[in-house]
Structure 1
Amino acid sequence: MTAPLVPGAQLRHGRVSLALSFFVQGAVFALLVTRIPAIQQRYGISDGLLPAFLAAVPVLAGVGSLVTEHLVKRVRPSRVLRGVQPVVCLALLAVGSAGGLAQVAVALAVFGLLVGALDASMNMLGVSLQRAYGRSIMLGFHAAYSLGGIVGASLAWVGAHWQLSLEVLYGPVVAVLVPLALVVGRWFVDRDPGGAQGGPAVTGEAKTPPVVMKLLLPLCLVMAFAYIGDSTVSNWSAKYLQDVLGSSEQLATVPYNVYMVTTLLGRSVGDLGVRRFGAVAVVRTGTVVAAVGFAVVAVAPGAWAGMAGFTLLGLGLCVIVPQTFAAAGRQAGEKLGPEASDMAIARLNIFSYVGFLVGSPLVGALGDAWSYRGAMLVPMALVLVTLVYARSFGSSSARYGDGHERPRTADVGRGSNGL
């Protein structure tokens, strides 16, 4: 099968293939993080050593993202993504089938390092495709990631329910996802560094202006604070519902599932909101909804009220991260040139791991020293900082929506298939 020759068709194929890539990554990551207890038990990782293992993954992911920032000066993001995603899937299988503690440590290290490159390159392609479409489509890619996370968590639940070994759980999944990643990789479409269909394949490092950190700092803070909020839900929702709000153990597993579903729903319709009202209005609304969600959780009199708060959190937080990537790519492209967009996204991506690393221990320390109800107010306050920087999400040329949508332009060149 050959790739389409019509530019419009090429963009559509690129959009679908990238959405599938986001889906694959969501499923793989969920399969890893939801089976941490089984991984710990299989390899005899002590409770004292487990935090070091868990922290190493986002730290190495940050390194991988930083390396990708420099790599894309010479290699297309589509080629980076096409190369690393199958290896990330295989690294998941290695985590489940390693022979001992040293081997699983190496597998987790490879997983973390390449996940950073994968996350950065996926979002680079998403931003460049959004620029080509001339309208908001970034939230749709992250909706695909959320859907993959739901599927991966569901498969992990099946594995736990039927007491499947990690090899039996991961093996068939990886056998499906690796060929899928290889196939969709042929259809990736990214910005042509030469600015035209026949331009050069790579950009020389000397031609690429450095990314000014001062330009990105507000968005980096927003990204870190959003992930502090997200990690609070993923790491503390079950414990909070059971220990603070007195729910049953079974009911305590529900909030994160609800959070994932509402994240999917919010991202599925979020692009329509951006097109209609603009990115600034959507980010402000999401920030307020997320803050209200944290407030409801903090004062909830019982489990069901707490679940309502976590539902609001999913609806609010879900729009912030995709729009932060889009804003960073747009600002760097407008002020420093199109080549700087990819590097800005890689730099910004590092702060997602910073937020993930800080969030869980921050809430835990505050909960132990003060109270878990009070601890929920801290990520609420941090998320509200987004309102201060809301104007960073818009510009005069980025007004998506009815009556002011930009004309669609095909400002991407050849895909990774060579067209």
Structure 2
Amino acid sequence: MPHVSYSPRAGITAGYFAQGCVFLSLTTRLPKLEDHWGLSQLGLTLIMLMIVLLAGAGSLLAEKVAPRRGSAIVLRAGLFAIGVALLVSGNSPNVPVLVVGLAVYGVALGMVDASTNMQAVSLEHQVQRTVLPSFHGSWTAGGIVGTLLTLALPHESVAMLSSALAILPVVVGCARFLPGSGSVPTPESAHGIPWRPILVVGAACVIFYTVDTASTTWGSVYFDHTLHAPSGLVALATLPYLVASFAARIAGDRFTDRFGAPRLLRSGAVVAVAGLVVVVLAPNWPVGVLGFLVLGAGIAVVAPLSFSAAATLTRSGGAALDPEVARARTDAVIARFNQFNYAGALIGSVLTGAIGTGSLRLGYAVPIVLVIALFPLAASFERSRLAAG
């Protein structure tokens, strides 16, 4: 089996971890941010919309820069920018400064999302086995830590938590990542990319991020406003979802190689639908905890398998490419594929909040229909189809 040195792999893992920790520490503190700055639910929705749109812009920036300078540089710049954004937003004296800080965070979010996946798919092609689920599991592990911080420090000030968290992405930005020459792919190298099947697996990615963002962004608000959980326990909406997702992703590498992605996706869709039904019908917050736990176990592997499939399609069905051209071409496609992330986040965060303005139960009912669509989409993840492009 091809060998990859430990340091770059550890650096990529840390990049995912830092991203998940910061993002979940932010979203699980939404009720506190709402109270601290006097924001309405509509105001929170508009802020989330801004972050999602700017994250899409950050991903496009990564698409332009990574093929020329390498994805490692994009990843470092994004991590450093997240540290700055946390300091500005967490210590802001008013709402306009808060918005500026979160705008910087949105752009950096897109840069880090795109570049961590670029690094991970490059490593997956080097080791020639499935590793994307466990890398995404590192993101989930970071999310668990971020959520636990919210639970453990319910009365800590926003400024203190944000300033402390700002250290993490800056430290991780100094880690070692996979090197790249930053060669520019020739125009001819773009020919033959099978965009149509990439769009199909992208649809599965949209479905995942719709459900995932609805859970991580609005879960704490749902527990607070609808299920009337004690104020110190509203983050329990997110924690069981993340714990189940982490377990599923850590096992996902082995299960994918053993059972195949299509079977794993279909069985996960059944579990996810059951979890969403429990969430929507939950009479109280303990039942809601169970619903989010089941949901996380079912839906978790969709995103990493989608990125893995898109990367495989990028390098399939044609003549062998120069390794640096192949990497640059894959980086560009992964950055563009990352837009499906934000399309799903837009639906999950904005529409869930908008449709669920009266009651978030209705907002959580919308993703059920989308998850059912994973059944026909699963066939597109068959390894032989991906290899043929």
Is this a same-fold pair by TM over 0.5?
Answer: yes
- Report matched runs for 1:390-409 at 5 Å: 390-396=378-384
Aligned-partner residue type, residue 92 of structure 2: A
State how far apart, in whole Å, the 2-side matches of 1:254 and 1:218 are: 34
State how far apart, in whole Å, the 1-side matches of 2:222 and 2:146 are: 24
Q: 1:147-182 deviations in whole A, cap 9, x for unaligned?
A: 111112222334433x3341x222233235412321
State how far apart, in whole Å, the 2-side matches of 1:140 and 1:360 are: 25
| 1:214 paired residue number | 196
Q: Give the deviation of 1:64 after TM superposition.
A: 1.1
State how far apart, in whole Å, the 1-side matches of 2:21 and 2:384 are: 37
| 1:408 paired residue number | none
Of 357-366 and 276-285, deviating more is 357-366
State how far apart, in whole Å, the 1-side matches of 2:130 and 2:332 are: 21
Contact 1:28 1:89 in 2 (8 A): no
Tell me the TM-score normalized by structure 2. Answer: 0.86
Equivalent residue for 1:349, pick from 338, 357, 378? 338
Aligned-partner residue type, residue 231 of structure 1: T
Number of residue pairs aligned between Structure 1 and Structure 2: 378
Contact 1:39 1:96 in 2 (8 A): no
Of 143-152 and 280-289, deviating more is 280-289
Contact 1:92 1:107 in 2 (8 A): yes
State how far apart, in whole Å, the 2-side matches of 1:165 and 1:364 are: 23
Unaligned stretches of 5+ in structure 2? none
Q: 1:105-156 deviations in whole A, cap 9, x for unaligned?
A: 2222111112111100100111111111111111111111111111122223
- Report matched runs for 1:5-24 at 5 Å: 8-10=3-5, 12-24=6-18
| 2:178 paired residue number | 189
- Report matched runs for 1:346-385 at 5 Å: 346-367=335-356, 376-385=364-373
SS across alignment from 2:67:
coil
Equivalent residue for 1:270, pick from 242, 252, 259? 252
- Root-mean-square deviation (CA, aligned residues, Å) is 2.9
Q: 1:336-362 deviations in whole A, cap 9, x for unaligned?
A: 763432222111211211211212443
State how far apart, in whole Å, the 2-side matches of 1:91 and 1:253 are: 23
CA 1:392–1:311: 2 relative to 1, 3 Å:
same
Unaligned stretches of 5+ in structure 1? 1-6, 193-199, 400-419
Please tell me whether residue 29 in structure 1 is matched to residue 23 in structure 2: yes
Aligned-partner residue type, residue 379 of structure 2: R
| 2:167 paired residue number | 175
Tell me the TM-score normalized by structure 1. Answer: 0.80
Q: 1:239-274 deviations in whole A, cap 9, x for unaligned?
A: 555766676666654232111111111111111111
Contact 2:220 2:235 in 1 (8 A): yes
The structure with the largest helix share of the pair is 2
Aligned-partner residue type, residue 380 of structure 2: S
Contact 1:290 1:314 in 2 (8 A): yes
Q: Give the deviation of 1:35 after TM superposition.
A: 3.0
State how far apart, in whole Å, the 2-side matches of 1:300 and 1:37 are: 21
